[in-house]
Amino acid sequence: MSNLNTKLTNKSYQRLAGKVAIVTGASSGIGRTTAKLFAQHGAKVVVAARREAELATLVAEIVAHGGEAIAFAGDVQSEEFAKSLVALTVKSFGRLDVAFNNAGTLGEIGPTTDVSEKGWNDTLAINLTSAFLGAKYQIPEMLKQGGGSIIFTSTFVGYSAAFPEFAAYAASKSGLIGLTQALAVEYGAKGVRVNAVLPGAVDTDMYREKNNTAESQAFLTGMHALKRVGKPEEIANSVLYLASDDSSFVSGTASLVDGGLSINRT
């Protein structure tokens, strides 16, 4: 760990040195962990979510470790929020290089024939429409400096595996893959790369809320070839790769970070 800390204080090692990044859904889980990792690697970070107190704590942690960060609380379903988030980023740090559009929800779960129209629409609004709105305002700023990297958080659900009673979640997250590909083709020649990361089960508050019994946790663990669920840090490292110039020839991908869940049959 000491060697890693030494490397992270070395500007030549930092993979996002000089870059400015937005992270949504940053108040907990994968978003929070990724925001901290971005800052460790030299990015100036704007963290966004609904929970203002949690964002303030995150910013304080980043600053205490020598990073730069500001927070913007609001609702990712709002187009005005997406517009204002980018405006604040550019006003504060002068540019935008990376956007991790990570905010999401499980949404209304249950038999598809019982899912309400509101539950369906809310799930799509948070998981899919918010990503579209984010990219809508992020891309023009990236184009001003010749490019950037956008990453969406999708999932294996509805892609390589499916669960009953998760129709709205699966549809919204699968839609992100289509959005990823469309944007990658539309803006790739102008230097904007767009990718989606598809985690397997990850040990977050959302995971524990849904899987609160030993039986359900054992079932999900067994689905993975690695026979364990992931850690937020493991997903964050994959997002860091896609955000950095190390992935300069990677665009339009649905990048599985799923512990072998997609190929496991044991």
Please identify every residue annotated as catalytic: 169
Instruction: Write down the residue that tokens 């700023």 correspond to.
Output: 141
Q: Are 254 and 198 in contact (CB under 8 A)?
A: yes
Instruction: Write down the residue that tokens 């997609």 correspond to.
Output: 262
Q: Are 247 and 241 in contact (CB under 8 A)?
A: yes
Instruction: Write down the residue that tokens 């929070």 correspond to.
Output: 32
Those residues whose C-beta lies under 8 Å from the C-beta of residue 45, and which sit 6 or more positions away, are 20, 21, 22, 23, 35, 38, 39, 62, 67, 68, 69, 70
In 51-155, the DSSP E strands lie at 68-73, 98-101, 148-153
Q: Are 44 and 19 in contact (CB under 8 A)?
A: yes
Distance CA(97)–CA(52), nearest Å, equals 24
Instruction: Write down the residue that tokens 């359900």 correspond to.
Output: 216
